[in-house]
Structure 1
């Protein structure tokens, strides 16, 4: 009985890692679509989001079933509670990648990014992909040292978002209303995806150490826009 239970826990962990892989692909593709104005890639991101939703449902149903049938305690209970939170964070991160792709679709065939902002968004995309990739490794290996790298990348994403916002504030007259709207939303989308990666690794820290998460931290559980 316990062997079957722990096999189910491993299945949940494997599904969470698969969700990370799919989100990583979604962010990479959404960023490519944003930088290149690639409508076909944007449409692929939009279409793929349903698979993330399905994986979240599978994880949540299995976790709730195990909570009801097995009455887990200690580490096993923390694993299931964390899995429910992490599946939600990953689904939201996937939605944010989809939002990036939807902006590309809405503006096509016009480019979304002014030339002055391309480098910042290219770097935000790279950092977000790396943060989610590392978060998957943290889930797989419970490597809390690697978790610190995810937090560092998130801080860099925040700085880049502020760089974009600063440029909008100081040079607003050189942007159209549509560009200001798009850049404000895009900066927020990447910043939120970084926060979701941090939320994932902090949840792993919780299940490893049992230490209570800081409820005042915006990255403990973050809401989608």
Structure 2
């Protein structure tokens, strides 16, 4: 089962430029992309209650569907299961998911509808730490929800373990974050973009946040 291990750090305004400059000097730049994302759920919020998130993402001409299921998050370090596949357009294609993901979505597939959006610019670098290969992704953008004129800013750095010794992935991510602490003040964040989106959508719908 695919597993995502990442460390999320909130980035203040004053840290954006020095952080990007340091990563340019010490990492392998992978470029910049505009990512347009819509998250779906049932009216009863079945996925949210199961601590799962279903996303459609447009990256240039490419469409991706992603399902992330329950995991753990502590001091910004998150571990969870993730399935992602390419699709033809802006609609969930259940058959493109592996069997494990299909089993989660099949009972609710006819009741899924958009709940909120996260749209942002992502700059990425590949970096190394203690034998681990890590993707550093700097995201800046907004979270929006239907019926709510308010927006939440996205301004965060995601450090995702790509390969190396999986048993020490968390240690490698924390060690790299410690190096960045000398460049800027970055606070660990346990709230995913999905969690923040559900909170914003709940306010719009008059539900407890």
TM-score by length of 1: 0.25
Greater radius of gyration (CA) = 1
Structure whose residues are more often helix by fraction: 1
Structure whose residues are more often strand by fraction: 2
TM-score by length of 2: 0.26
